[in-house]
Amino acid sequence: MDRKRKEFFRGCLLGGAVGDALGWPVEFMRLAEIKKRYGERGIENLVLNADGKAEITDDTQLTLFTAEGLLRASTRRNLRGNCHLPTVVYHAYLRWLHTQGVKCKGGEEIVKNLDGWVSKIKALYARRAPGSTCLSALSNGRMGTIEKHINNSKGCGGVIRVAPVGLMFTKKDAFKIGCELAAITHGHPGGYLSAGLHACIISCLIEGMELEDAVSAAIQELAAYPGSEECLGLINKAVELAQDNDPSEDALKQLGEGWVGEEAIAIAVYCLLVYKNDFKKAVCLAVNHDGDSDSTGAITGNILGVCLGVEGIPPVWWEHVELRDEIIAVADDLQIGFEESERWLKKYPGW
């Protein structure tokens, strides 16, 4: 295993988990409330629970189940030669739904035999304010697609979970697959194109592009998709604001609050461009605002974690994040992609 490449894979998933955990305590707070509780600079340190862990939310949970779905799809493709990837990942999302105590119409067969290993991780059964759109979309028994929308939601529940796609696929495929996986639950272009953008940026970084070039390349991919005007306008605005080199709360306000897909990815892009060499400053900026702090923190952490690797994330953060060891294991498996062994088949059965 390439040690340097391993650092980027681990950095992506750990960085996202750290950003998620930092933003979780303030997710539903306005900036004024955050400052009142944590000081004028807002929240700057992880809040640890009684077990000494910084709790992750559904953002990281779903990211892990996306990774599981991709790896199970890889198993199926390698052993059988055919695989409809979105369906395999959809099944993974139904396993996540089961961990949240919600039933799916017609999904009994998927959860009757919980094989594999991700759905057996007890800590993933914690319910941390899961998005209502994800819950309702997954529980109705129909899988959404780009062509056949399941709803008209552009919430950020799709964009927050697709980082593993960027780690496994080249940029064009990453954009397309990121969109397809988000469209399982979010039918509005803003809900799935933002996910394609997220996955594509990560893929470009894995391929060796500099951050600014990766963002530009992903924007070019975005512009080719129907219905991209709204997302494209906000992302371009984020890039323009970042050129000011004077990070401000006012700039974030111009990009929205992050509850919808294009706002969440735009806030993340702004934060990582203005603090591209400082993980802590970028993620702190990403969570200290009026909106969806854990989601914007997670996306920022995913992308900057690829840029800087684990060594660029403060050890006091990633060492205390919940499920650290499991996250590292999944990141390492994503780098491997597939292994023909009994151990692998037990972890990632091909269905």
Q: Does residue 294 have a known ligand-binding role?
A: yes
The alpha carbon dihedral of 45, 25, 164, 177 has a sign of negative
C-alpha 327 chain-centroid distance: 13
Q: Does residue 20 have a known ligand-binding role?
A: no
pLDDT at site 245:
67
Q: Does residue 57 have a known ligand-binding role?
A: yes
pLDDT at site 288:
97
CATH of the domain at 195: 1.10.4080.10
DSSP 28-82: T--HHHHHHHH-TT---SPPB-TTS-BPP-HHHHHHHHHHHHHHHHHHHHHHHS-
48 forms beta bridges with: 54
pLDDT at site 2:
65
pLDDT at site 3:
61
**Contact indicator for 88, 73 with CB cutoff of 8 Å:** yes
**Contact indicator for 199, 182 with CB cutoff of 8 Å:** no
H helix intervals, the chain: 3-23, 31-38, 58-80, 85-99, 108-112, 132-139, 163-168, 171-182, 189-206, 211-223, 229-242, 249-254, 261-274, 279-287, 293-308, 315-318, 324-336, 342-347
Q: What's the distance, Cα to Cα, between the start and end of the chain in Å?
A: 26
pLDDT at site 100:
96
pLDDT at site 116:
94
Which residues of the chain register pLDDT less than 70? 1-3, 245
DSSP 327-350: HHHHHHHHHH----SHHHHHHS--
pLDDT at site 1:
47
**Contact indicator for 179, 224 with CB cutoff of 8 Å:** no
Who contacts 42 (Cβ-Cβ below 8 Å, separation ≥6)?
A: 26, 31, 34, 35, 284, 287, 288
- Whether pTM exceeds 0.95: yes
Q: Does residue 295 have a known ligand-binding role?
A: yes
52 dihedral zone (left: phi>0; alpha: psi -120 to 50; beta): left
Q: How many domains does the chain have?
A: 1
**Contact indicator for 55, 322 with CB cutoff of 8 Å:** yes
**Structural domain for 224, as ranges:** 3-347
